[in-house]
Structure 1
Amino acid sequence: MDWRIYALGSAFFAALTAIFGKVGVSDLNSNLATFIRTIVVLLASAALISMRQEWVRPANLPLKSILFLVLSGLATGLSWLCYYRALQLGPASRVAPIDKLSVVLVVFFAVAFLGEPLTWKTGVGTVLIASGVLLMTL
């Protein structure tokens, strides 16, 4: 299946995350809400890996992959903690666009650290995304 289908699925489920999360943190501490969400993600991932029989012995995993996945997990956890606290304190319609500034940062980091090219289309799109975020949150 094409990567774009998965990317659209990610956007769709991220939108639901904001809506469900806003309701979920209304009567709960945002850190506890993040913990509950993390457990659900862990269980769902384990179920998917089990159904697809994709478990691999830890000794067979590349150390570099493990290191960067641990760093990614830490970044994800910090992102979720900040996101849920922001949802608890602010309107979802303003929190979510600011969260999407991550797109602008990803483009910057991909160019700076991964050596990905910055095309004029990517540059213009990045400026438009940043402009849209500003417009929606001012």
Structure 2
Amino acid sequence: MQTWIIYAILSMIFAGFTSVLAKYGLKNIHPDLGLGIRTTVIFFLITLINVVGSKYKDFGLLTQKQWLLLVASGITTTVSWVFYYRAMKDGLVSYVAAIDKASIIITLLLSFFLLKEPMTPKVLIGAGLIFVGMIVLIWK
């Protein structure tokens, strides 16, 4: 099995825990405070990983375009997390997480049109099933 697949599976597992832990952690507090605590922990852990692993040495390799794209990615992540935590505070974890994960449809569309990745029948069927699953969950 390729390393990136193992990383993706581990990401999936930890992301699943993240939603449930966050739901419990948000009890009696504003979701923005909960997100602030989570983000602070992330900042310190990622900083530690970069310092211990000497990844900070790559700073000089960054182009202006890469800086801009990474900052834009940080902004979109922040906005996504703010709305996600607000939804988690009041909504059911199973519904909120499923709707949020349907973001893969947006990712796939952007990867086709901006990154020129192949639009295969397999990917389109998978995206369609994700979309149908989201509709089933939010249908009243």
Range of TM-score over shorter length: over 0.9
| Stretches of structure 1 lacking an aligned partner (at least 5 in a row) | none
Q: Partners in 2 of 1:64 and 1:119 — Cα distance?
A: 29
Alignment correspondent of 1:19: 20
- 2:57 match: secondary structure: coil
Q: What is the alpha-carbon distance in structure 2 between the residues aligned to residue 25 and residue 112 of structure 1?
A: 37
Q: How far apart in 2 are the matches of 1:112 and 1:53?
A: 35
Runs of 4+ in 1 over 4 A off after TM superposition: 57-60
Question: Residues of 2 paired with 1:4 and 1:135: CA distance?
Answer: 28
Instruction: Name the aligned partner's letter for residue 112 of structure 1.
Output: F
Match of 2:67 in 1: 66
Give the whole-Å Cα distance in 1 for the aligned partners of 2:6 and 2:137. 26
Say if 1:98 and 1:133, in contact at 8 Å, map to a contact too: yes
1:84-123 to structure 2, matched below 5 A, reads 84-123=85-124
What SS class does the counterpart of residue 77 from structure 1 fall into? helix
**What amino acid does structure 2 have at the position aligned with 1:86?**
A
Count matched residues: 138
Aligned match of 1:55: 56
Identical residues among aligned pairs (%): 33
- The one-letter amino acid paired with 2:98 is P
- After TM superposition, the score normalised by the length of structure 1 is 0.94
Q: Hey, what's the Cα distance between the residues in 2 that align with 1:17 and 1:72?
A: 20
